[in-house]
């Protein structure tokens, strides 16, 4: 049964994990959006901001905001040793969070109404462990291509899609940790951890907002390639298809040779043997590559089970 949020504050402890990388211009508006909602609906919550190599004064804007607002909640800033990218930084922030439920904000661009934060929370209370909020607005063409390729070649059962932010239960976090896995792409791991997940779609204030959004991490392309390697078999499929093409070509050469010999024709000297050798050789190369890629996929499952981020300092801006 769905639990409706009343005027009575929730007793669950909430952690807000926020990714920061040169977003000084957007930070105040983001905090003005989410902090009042949390103050209104939750008795206790903490703010965990991950400083991933900010150079534009983002952390100073955060401290100034906290001081002026006189926030009476825990505010921690996780300073990464150097710029390490969205996934590593958010893994560090999530590991530092102590809440019963953890909100993850991969970027602070706000194109949703503040009530969306409570909608995903309410949905979580219905028995889910991971609930994401996703915009109904337009997506970049590259994003559409990525999700289509990923979902059609994924190794697991769960499909992924664009997410603006998500809320994760402590049980889900503990499940991931018990698996002993470093998380190279949280969406994929969350969708394949065996717990109930859901996505709530909202009407964006601007249908083109996600296309124009400049705060989305620039390393998305690299992350996309890494995700294909970790969680899909697309490289194996491509290699196997090319392997089959060369095999068919080799067989075709053999059939052509028999056909020409039976008709008494004499092809150009050396042409048939050269083409047959090349096609057979390429078949062998791509067959071997397919085996190697399969072997590497098994090795990767073992390799990414280790911690892969470096934190230089954890600064307590506000202590409660």
pLDDT at 78: 94
Distance (Å) of CA 263 to CA 239, 256, 274? 36, 11, 21
The DSSP bridge pattern shows strands 197-202 and 130-135 to be parallel
Cβ pair 24, 56 in contact under 8 A: yes
Compute the mean pLDDT over every residue in the chain, rounded to the nearest whole number.
79
33-55 pLDDT tens trace:
999 999 999 999 999 999 998 99
pLDDT at 2: 47
CA 233 from centroid of its chain's CA atoms = 17
201 beta partners: 134
Residue 220, Cβ neighbours under 10 Å: how many?
A: 16
Spatial distance between the Cα atoms of 25 and 235, rounded to a whole number of angstroms = 40
Which stretch of DSSP H or E encloses residue 49?
strand 42-51
Supply angle C-alpha 264, 268, 270, rounded to 5. 110
pTM over 0.85: no
- The DSSP annotation for 99-124 comes to -SEEEEES-----S-TTHHHHHHHHH
Spatial distance between the Cα atoms of 318 and 320, rounded to a whole number of angstroms = 7
> Quick one: pLDDT band at residue 75, thresholds 50, 70, 90?
very high
Q: Which of 136-140, 183-187, 290-294 has the lowest mean pLDDT?
A: 290-294
19 beta partners: 50
The domain spans of the chain are 10-232+307-318, 234-303
138 three-state secondary structure? coil
- pLDDT exceeds cutoff 50 at 1: no
pLDDT at 36: 95
Spatial distance between the Cα atoms of 169 and 37, rounded to a whole number of angstroms = 19
113-171 pLDDT tens trace:
999 999 999 999 999 999 999 988 777 777 788 778 777 777 666 777 888 999 999 99
Residue 38, Cβ neighbours under 10 Å: how many?
A: 21
Which stretch of DSSP H or E encloses residue 276?
helix 271-303
Distance (Å) of CA 180 to CA 61, 173, 191? 36, 11, 16
CATH architecture of structural domain 10-232+307-318: Alpha-Beta Complex (3.90)
Spatial distance between the Cα atoms of 226 and 257, rounded to a whole number of angstroms = 44
């Amino acid at each position: 049964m769905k639990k409706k949020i009343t005027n009575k504050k929730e007793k669950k402890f909430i952690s807000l994990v926020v990714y920061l990388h040169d977003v000084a211009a957007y930070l105040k508006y983001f905090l003005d959006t989410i902090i009042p909602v949390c103050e209104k609906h939750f008795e206790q919550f903490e703010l965990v901001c991950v400083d991933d190599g900010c150079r534009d004064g983002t952390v100073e804007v955060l401290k100034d905001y906290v001081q002026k607002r006189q926030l009476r909640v825990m505010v921690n800033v996780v300073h990464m040793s150097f710029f390490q990218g969205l996934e590593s930084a958010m893994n560090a922030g999530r590991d530092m969070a102590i809440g019963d439920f953890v909100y993850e904000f991969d970027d602070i661009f706000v194109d949703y109404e503040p009530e969306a934060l409570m909608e995903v929370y309410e949905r979580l209370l219905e028995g889910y462990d991971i609930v994401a909020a996703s915009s109904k607005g337009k997506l970049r063409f590259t994003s559409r291509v990525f999700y289509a390729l990923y979902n059609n070649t994924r190794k697991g059962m769960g499909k992924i899609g664009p997410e603006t932010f998500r809320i994760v239960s402590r049980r889900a976090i503990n499940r991931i940790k018990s698996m002993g896995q470093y998380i190279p792409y949280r969406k994929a791991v969350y969708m394949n951890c065996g717990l109930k997940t859901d996505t709530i779609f909202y009407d964006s204030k601007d249908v083109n907002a996600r296309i124009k959004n400049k705060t989305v991490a620039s390393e998305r392309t690299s992350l996309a390639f890494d995700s294909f390697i970790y969680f899909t078999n697309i490289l194996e499929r491509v290699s196997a298809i090319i392997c089959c093409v060369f095999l068919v070509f080799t067989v075709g050469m053999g059939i052509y040779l028999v056909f020409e010999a039976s008709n008494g024709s004499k092809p150009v000297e050396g042409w048939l043997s050269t083409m047959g050798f090349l096609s057979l050789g390429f078949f062998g190369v791509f067959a071997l590559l397919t085996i190697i890629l399969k072997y590497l996929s098994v090795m990767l499952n073992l390799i990414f089970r280790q911690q892969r981020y470096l934190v230089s300092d954890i600064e307590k801006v506000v202590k409660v």
